[in-house]
Amino acid sequence: MSSITSAVKGAISSVVNTAKVNDLKSNTVEHTSSSELTTDHGVKVGDTDNWLKVSDGSSTGPSLLEDQIAREKIHRFDHERIPERVVHARGTGAHGYFKVFDNRASKYTCAPVLTDPSRTTPIFVRFSTVQGSKGSADTVRDVRGFAMKFYTDEGIWDLVANDIPVFFIQDAIKFPDFVHAVKPEPHNEVPQGQTAHNNFWDFVGLQPESAHMVMWAMSDRGVPRSYRMMQGFGVNTFTLINSEGQRVFVKFHMIPELGVHSLVWDEALKIAGQDPDFHRKDLNEAIEAGCPPKWTFAIQVIEEKDEHNFDFDILDATKIWPESLVPVMPIGEFVLNRTVDEFFPEVEQVAFCTSHVVPGIGFSDDPLLQGRNFSYFDTQITRLGINWEQIPINRPICPVMNHNRDGSRQHRITKGSINYWPNRDNIGHPATPETGAYLEAKQKIIGMKQRIRGSKFQEHFNQAQLFYNSLTPVEKLHLIKAISFELDHCDDQRVYEGYTKILNHIDFDLAKTVAQNVNGVIPDSPARPNHGKSDPTLSQFYYAPKTPTIATRRIAILIADGFNETEVTAIRAIFASALATTWVIGPRRGKIYAAGQTLGSGQGLVADHHFEGQRSTMFDALYVPSGMEHAKALVENGRAIHWIREAFGHCKAIGAIGEGAAVVQHALGLPEVQLFSSPDSDNVVASYGVVTTGKYDFTSAATDALKIAPGP
Ligand code: HDD
């Protein structure tokens, strides 16, 4: 694998040891080859392979229950598993840090984490899918979780976000029904990690408030290329409180430096089988290669006085605040630059609570948020026990002092005779506003006690339509195909007919096409007119980096014996300098000999994988160098040809030179696409994301093509 320059690595390593990473050191052990086995109570163990038995030495007699060493080993194993998360069970995480640019947010909040540019706040972020179990595949169509833990000097702030800005339901009381409907069906536990089944589409068909979120989930956002290329959204409406006690409503946004990119559905399906850990490996690979993912952190703010000035309720989590109405203000950035040392203690035990806020950040009456504030703490008690906040990954880096005591797995030993307030020694006395006590902003509330939602919560299709209208033609096509795929998996006529009727409230053509595909109800006319409005910020193309980049992209170089070594060395260096990684794929994972080298000699380039070991789906682009014998071998290798065809089918960039270009031309069998200029020509031919040339000077055109090619 190619690597990045040592200068970049140096810059990153200087911030790797955040205060939280240092805090975890007291719980981190590292063993060496001189470490000897012990029991959990520290007694050295001389044999961990044979249970204590009664034996005359030649025959194996009965095993003795007396063997405390064997019993301990089995006991510990029997209890290794804890309940997986009831949703978002599948995920991975990494450490990093957060910084604000300046104090521009201090007008709205007194939270130093959001206003003090001299601070580096340690963070831990866990990405996840929602529906599947802990062992399900990464690339399924689903919403992605984007949960952030900020270890601030004022306590922990958890921002439990998703990669989609809205949610399926408006009121938390519906969450158990929604989750039951989306999860595998109860009678047979099928399907795993997918929304493509009767119960999900039945539920969302009967809950039109889901329509907006369904549009997002069926768009390319549902199949991200990488966790590193996802936007994040706090979804709920929170509040910010400034030093004068004034409150504003806020939504939080995370915008990835590399842009927002997706897989195509065929790739996502294949990768789910070929490499179910694709996303977690991708995150670790980028961090370990020294290309830590980075996001801009931004806020949208609405003043209290403007709360009712919109045609939607700003506390409704099925609605966005369109950027044309409420600008998105970048205030900081964050980087994930450190992989975990051990998965279970860090990623599995990390636990988030929307109710964990710090002074300067507060809640709103968003009915989804209010329910979440109850649910997260509660679920951690089942998973991790009441003292879950003492687990190293969850504990704050600031002092913790209160009179909460005991409970299962209490780790803290608090000296002294006082465990209550008030007490004669003034121990653990309440803090004051001056010393940083959390203060709720004053809010006047008058109302009747009743089970309702506000009147503006009743409109469900305006923003679903806005989202659909805002997609580019290719994004619309993908969305139509996605819904058609999903409804095709529903075999209850009431379900697929029901949802095609819902679609007609969003867009007539969308409803008609999907209904035709899945035998739904083909409408004669729209159920409601299309308002025709659109917003460019809703298309993921909007987030393409200003300067095109191939950083962290994976490029496969296909070679066989007889390839042009000079060319491969040069192109790898060029891609590496652009921070892409190159992977050599050959007929065997061993030495592949270049033109002029003797087979079996000490020379040769060791391939990272062989053609059967990996597939084109794992890579963002292909490159085929020149070399006559190598080209002949590739043309005769069915799998190598499949690599090129499949990559082309997934609209990936393909670069080729000389005889390599002839291989590509042969593989694609597209004579009308002029792939190959004459072998002596300097012409670079670029068509359909394929860049070929007869002569060597090809690299800048190739890098340009790769920059534009990867996308949704
Ligand atoms: Fe939730 C986990 C995001 C609504 C109840 N949720 C969970 C995670 C994320 C979200 C990212 C994974 C956290 C981790 O990595 O450990 N959830 C959301 C968003 C929502 C949302 C963005 C809508 C705005 N959630 C929601 C509601 C409820 C829950 C309405 C319950 C009333 N969520 C949970 C949970 C989970 C959870 C059951 C499972 C594991 C956990 O909390 O720690 O409590």
Encoded tokens for 216: 């997002």
Q: Determine how many CB atoms are found less than 10 A away from the CB of residue 416.
A: 9
Q: Ligand 1 mean position to 138 CA, how many Å?
A: 18
CATH architecture of 91-390: Beta Barrel (2.40)
Percent with pLDDT over 90 in the chain: 87
Q: In DSSP terms, which residues pair with 248 in a beta bridge?
A: 240, 303
Whether pLDDT at 356 is above 90: yes
496: CB partners within 8 A, 6+ apart = 201, 487, 488, 490, 518, 519, 520
245: CB partners within 8 A, 6+ apart = 439, 441, 442
Where in 110-187 does DSSP place strands (E)? 121-129, 144-152, 155-162
pLDDT at 14: 54
CATH superfamily placement of domain 554-708: Class I glutamine amidotransferase (GATase) domain (3.40.50.880)
Q: Is 686 helix (H, G, I), strand (E, B) or coil?
A: strand
Q: Are 375 and 175 in contact (CB under 8 A)?
A: yes
Is residue 126 within 6 Å of ligand 1 at its C-beta?
yes
Q: Ligand 1 mean position to 6 CA, how many Å?
A: 40
What mean pLDDT do residues 351-370 have?
Answer: 98
pLDDT at 64: 97
Which DSSP symbol is given to 351?
A: -
Encoded tokens for 380: 């951690």
Query: Phi-psi region for residue 416, left (φ > 0), alpha (ψ -120 to 50) or beta?
Result: left
pLDDT confidence tier of residue 658, bands split at 50, 70 and 90: confident
pLDDT confidence tier of residue 671, bands split at 50, 70 and 90: low
Q: Tell me the pLDDT tens digit for each residue of 633-646.
A: 999 999 999 999 99
Q: Are 207 and 330 in contact (CB under 8 A)?
A: no
Alpha-carbon distance 433 to 430, whole Å? 10
Q: Are 320 and 165 in contact (CB under 8 A)?
A: yes
Pocket test for ligand 1, best of 82, 84, 85 (most atoms within 8 A of CB): 85
Residues of the chain with CATH 2.40.180.10: 91-390
Q: Tell me the pLDDT tens digit for each residue of 173-201.
A: 999 999 999 999 999 999 999 999 999 99
Alpha-carbon distance 184 to 195, whole Å? 9
Q: Residue whose CA is closest, atom 6 of ligand 1? A: 160
The H or E element containing residue 422 is: none
Alpha-carbon distance 287 to 276, whole Å? 19
Alpha-carbon distance 138 to 278, whole Å? 6
What mean pLDDT do residues 63-71 have?
Answer: 97
Q: Residue whose CA is closest, atom 25 of ligand 1? A: 372
Q: Determine how many CB atoms are found less than 10 A away from the CB of residue 259.
A: 22
The H or E element containing residue 74 is: helix 68-78
Q: How far is CA 55 from CA 71, 228, 404, 696, in A?
A: 19, 58, 54, 74
Residues of the chain with CATH 3.40.50.880: 554-708
Whether pLDDT at 561 is above 50: yes
Is residue 91 within 6 Å of ligand 1 at its C-beta?
yes
* Average predicted confidence (pLDDT) for the chain: 93
Whether pLDDT at 706 is above 60: no
Q: Ligand 1 mean position to 100 CA, how many Å?
A: 26
Q: Is 38 helix (H, G, I), strand (E, B) or coil?
A: strand
Q: Name the burial class of residue 469, with classes exposed (0-12), middle (13-18) and buried (19+) by CB atoms within 10 angstroms of its CB.
A: middle
pLDDT at 8: 41
What mean pLDDT do residues 273-295 have?
Answer: 96
pLDDT at 665: 86
Alpha-carbon distance 294 to 226, whole Å? 13
pLDDT confidence tier of residue 139, bands split at 50, 70 and 90: very high
Pocket test for ligand 1, best of 174, 372, 378 (most atoms within 8 A of CB): 372
Could you please state the CATH topology (level 3) that the domain comprising 470-543 is classified under: Hemocyanin, N-terminal domain (1.20.1370)
What mean pLDDT do residues 350-373 have?
Answer: 98
Q: Ligand 1 mean position to 3 CA, how many Å?
A: 37
The H or E element containing residue 92 is: strand 91-100
Is residue 175 within 6 Å of ligand 1 at its C-beta?
yes
Q: Residue whose CA is closest, atom 42 of ligand 1? A: 376
Q: Is 455 helix (H, G, I), strand (E, B) or coil?
A: helix
Q: Ligand 1 mean position to 20 CA, how many Å?
A: 24
Alpha-carbon distance 585 to 604, whole Å? 13
Residues of the chain with CATH 1.20.1370.20: 470-543
Angle 96-101-107 (CA atoms, 0-180°, nearest 5)?
Answer: 120
Helix then strand then coil, in percent of the chain rounded to 5, is 35, 15, 50
What mean pLDDT do residues 326-354 have?
Answer: 98
Alpha-carbon distance 471 to 220, whole Å? 10
The H or E element containing residue 295 is: strand 294-303
Choice among 3-12, 427-436, 591-600 with the minimum mean pLDDT: 3-12
Whether omega for the bond prior to residue 396 falls within 30 degrees of 0, making it cis, is no
Cα 5 off chain centre by:
26
Whether pLDDT at 216 is above 70: yes
Cα first-last separation, the chain: 25
Q: Tell me the pLDDT tens digit for each residue of 494-553.
A: 999 999 999 999 999 999 999 999 999 999 999 999 999 999 999 999 999 988 899 999
Alpha-carbon distance 556 to 629, whole Å? 19
Q: How far is CA 474 from CA 478, 500, 541, in A?
A: 6, 21, 11
Is residue 369 within 6 Å of ligand 1 at its C-beta?
no
Residue 680: closest CA among 658, 651, 706, 702: 658
Question: Binding site annotation covers 420?
Answer: no
Which pairs with CB-CB distance under 8 Å and at least 24 residues apart come from 641-649? 641/666, 641/667, 642/616, 643/556, 643/558, 643/585, 643/611, 643/615, 643/616, 644/558, 644/616, 644/668, 646/615, 646/616, 646/617, 647/616, 647/619, 647/621, 647/622, 648/688, 648/689, 648/690, 649/266
Q: Are 471 and 479 in contact (CB under 8 A)?
A: yes
Q: Tell me the pLDDT tens digit for each residue of 412-470.
A: 999 999 999 999 999 999 999 999 999 888 888 999 999 999 999 999 999 999 999 99
- Residues marked as catalytic: 88, 162
Alpha-carbon distance 650 to 663, whole Å? 18
Pocket test for ligand 1, best of 133, 160, 370 (most atoms within 8 A of CB): 160
The ipTM (two decimal places) reads 0.99
What pTM value is reported for the model?
Answer: 0.94
Is residue 147 within 6 Å of ligand 1 at its C-beta?
yes
Kindly give the number of the ligand 1 atom that is closest to the alpha carbon of 89. Answer: 40
Whether pLDDT at 574 is above 90: yes
Encoded tokens for 80: 């290794």
pLDDT at 686: 60
Is residue 129 within 6 Å of ligand 1 at its C-beta?
no
pLDDT confidence tier of residue 691, bands split at 50, 70 and 90: confident
pLDDT at 673: 45
pLDDT at 427: 96
Kindly give the number of the ligand 1 atom that is closest to the alpha carbon of 88. Answer: 12
Encoded tokens for 454: 């506000």
Identify residue 245 by its one-letter amino acid code.
G
Q: Are 238 and 364 in contact (CB under 8 A)?
A: yes
Q: Ligand 1 mean position to 128 CA, how many Å?
A: 11
Kindly give the number of the ligand 1 atom that is closest to the alpha carbon of 147. Answer: 11
Q: Tell me the pLDDT tens digit for each residue of 221-280.
A: 999 999 999 999 999 999 999 999 999 999 999 999 999 999 999 999 999 999 999 999
Q: Is 144 helix (H, G, I), strand (E, B) or coil?
A: strand
